[in-house]
Structure 1
Amino acid sequence: MSSDIISRYNQVQERIDKACKDAGRDPGEVMLVAVSKTKPDEDVLKLIEHGHFHFGENRAKALQDRMESIKNPAAVWHFIGNLQTNKIKYMVERVNWIQSIHKMKALKEVEKRASEINRVINVLIQVNISDEDQKSGCDPEKLEGILKYAQDLKYTKVRGLMGMATFTDDLDVVRPEFKLLKKLRDEHKHLSEGSVDLKHLSMGMTNDLEVAIQEGSTMVRVGTAIFGERNY
C-alpha cells in the first residue's frame, strides 16, 4: 500500500535526522537516494508526490526504463551500479548523477556523450574501500590520476567519492572502510579545481547508514528500508 511506503520512507528520514543530531551535523547535509531496483513505478511516483526526488538504480536497463516511464521533470536520477562503458550512451540524456565511475575510460565516454547533447552530468569516483575483488571501484592509489584527468573536462563534473562497504551486519567492519573513504577525500581535496569539486561522500545503505553519517557521508543509498525486499 502507498501509505506503507510513505511510512517506511519517513522512518528512514527519522533515522537520518537522529544520526545527524547524534553526530552534531545538519540533516540538510545528507542527501537520501531512494534505490527502487525492481519495485513498480507507482512506488516511485508516490515518493515524488510526497516530496522526495532523488532516485537510484543499480542496473543500466532498469534506470533507462525508469527514466522513460516516469517523465516528472522534478525526478533526479542516480546510476549507482557496476558501470559498463557501452551502457553510458543509453543514459546520458536524462541521468543526473553517475556514482560508479572508476576508470578514466568511463570518464572519457561520459564526456563524449554529454558533449554531443550539450549536457552537464555529475559523477562520483567509486573507490574500492572493502578490498573485495567482486566490488567495483578504483584502487586508492589510482584516484589522483583520475581526478587530475577530470579537472579539464567540460561536461562531466566530479562531485566527490563513492564507496561500497563490506556487506555485513558487523558495523566494526564497515566503520574503518567509511573512514578510509573520508580520508581519501580529504587527502585529495587539493585537487578540487576545474571540473573537480570533492564535496560529496556517497556511503551508507539500509543497514549501516548511521555509521556512514557519523563518518561524514553526504549521500546515503537506501533501498530495502524504503521499498522492502526486492522482487527477483
Structure 2
Amino acid sequence: MSLIERISQVEQQVSEACRRSGRNRDEVNVVAVTKYVSAAKAAAVLDQGIQHIGENRWQTAEEKWRALGERGVWHFIGHLQTNKVKDVIGKFQYIHSLDRLSLANELEKKAAALNIRVSAFMQVNISGEATKHGLQPEQAADFLREIERFKHLNVIGLMTMAPFESSPEDTRPVFRGLRQLRDELNARAFTPEPMTELSMGMSNDFEVAIEEGATWVRLGSILVGKEED
C-alpha cells in the first residue's frame, strides 16, 4: 500500500471512530511516528500534509529534525533522559513523557533559560505494567502539586501506553481510565487551566482510544509504513 493510500485509510478510520463516539473529527490530531524511517521518508509524510511528527530518541531524530525541523510540529514521544533535555528543548514543541520530578526540574530550568514554555503530557502507567514508564495513577495529584511552581512547564494533558492486545477492544479500560483520571484531576483544579488533551492510541488500538476520548493518536506502521515501502 502506498503512503497516500495509508493516509487515506487512516483518515477514514479516524473519521468513523469519531462518528461512532459522537465526536467532531477536528478534535483528534494524528502524530506520524517516523522513528523507524529515514529523513527522506519523513519528508514524504510532510509532503502529504501531515503536520505532526513523532520521534522517541534524539539520536535517531537529530538528522531528521535538522533536515525538516522548520516544516513540521515535532513531538518527543519516548522516555526522555534528563541529560537529553538540552538536545530536545526548543526543538520539540510537545513532550509526551513527563513522568518524574527530576525531568520536570530539568525541563523547567532549560525552558527558563530559553524564555519559552514547554507543552507537556504527564505520562501515567494506567495498565500497571512493570515494563512501561509513567507515574502510577495515585501519584498524579501529588506530582502536579510538586510542579505547580514551574512557570515554564505547561501540562496540557495526560499520556499512556496500553498493552499490545490481539483484540484492540481489550485496551478500552486503559484508555477509559486515563480519561477518567484527567477528569478527576481537572475537577480538583491542580493546573492553572484544565487539562484538555489525551495522548493515547497507537497503530493497533487507536480507534478504541478515539472512542474513549483521545485527542492525539501516535501512528507509526499503519500510517508511515516501513522504510522499504
Q: Secondary structure at the match of 1:83?
A: coil
Give 1:172 shift: 3.7
Q: Secondary structure at the match of 1:191?
A: coil
> What RMSD, in angstroms, separates the aligned Cα atoms of the two structures?
1.7
Give 1:229 shift: 4.1
2: CA distance between counterparts of 1:128 and 1:94? Answer: 26
Q: Secondary structure at the match of 1:198?
A: coil
1: CA distance between counterparts of 2:8 and 2:82? Answer: 36
Match of 1:46 in 2: 44
Is 1:157 aligned to residue 154 of structure 2?
Answer: yes
What does 1:59-208 correspond to in 2, within 5 Å?
Answer: 59-72=57-70, 74-189=71-186, 190-194=188-192, 197-208=194-205
Q: Secondary structure at the match of 2:195?
A: strand
Q: Is contact 2:145–2:190 with CA below 8 Å preserved after alignment?
A: no
Match of 1:29 in 2: 27
TM-score normalised over the length of structure 1:
0.92
Check 1:138–1:230 CA distance in 2 against 1; reply closer, same or farther (3 A cut). Answer: farther
AA partner of residue 152 (structure 1): R
Q: Is contact 1:15–1:210 with CA below 8 Å preserved after alignment?
A: yes
Deviation string, structure 1 residues 64-112 (Cα, Å, up to 9, x no partner): 332122142x411101111211111111021100101111111111010
Check 1:71–1:140 CA distance in 2 against 1; reply closer, same or farther (3 A cut). Answer: closer
Tell me which moved more, 179-188 or 165-174: 165-174
Q: Is contact 2:144–2:191 with CA below 8 Å preserved after alignment?
A: no
Deviation string, structure 1 residues 128-155 (Cα, Å, up to 9, x no partner): 0111101001111110011123333221
Residue number among 50, 53, 56 corresponding to 2:54 in the alignment: 56
Match of 1:215 in 2: 212
Tell me which moved more, 58-67 or 106-115: 58-67
Q: Is contact 2:69–2:91 with CA below 8 Å preserved after alignment?
A: no
Tell me which moved more, 58-67 or 103-112: 58-67
Q: Secondary structure at the match of 2:134?
A: coil
Q: Secondary structure at the match of 2:196?
A: strand
Structure 2 residue runs without a partner (length 5+): none
Q: Secondary structure at the match of 2:30?
A: strand
AA partner of residue 4 (structure 1): S
Structure 1 residue runs without a partner (length 5+): none
Q: Secondary structure at the match of 1:206?
A: coil
Q: State the aligned residue count.
A: 227
Q: Secondary structure at the match of 2:120?
A: strand
Give 1:158 shift: 0.4
Give 1:113 shift: 0.6
Is 1:10 aligned to residue 8 of structure 2?
Answer: yes
Q: Is contact 2:99–2:135 with CA below 8 Å preserved after alignment?
A: yes
Q: Secondary structure at the match of 1:158?
A: strand
Give 1:168 shift: 1.5
2: CA distance between counterparts of 1:200 and 1:45? Answer: 27
Q: Is contact 2:28–2:215 with CA below 8 Å preserved after alignment?
A: yes
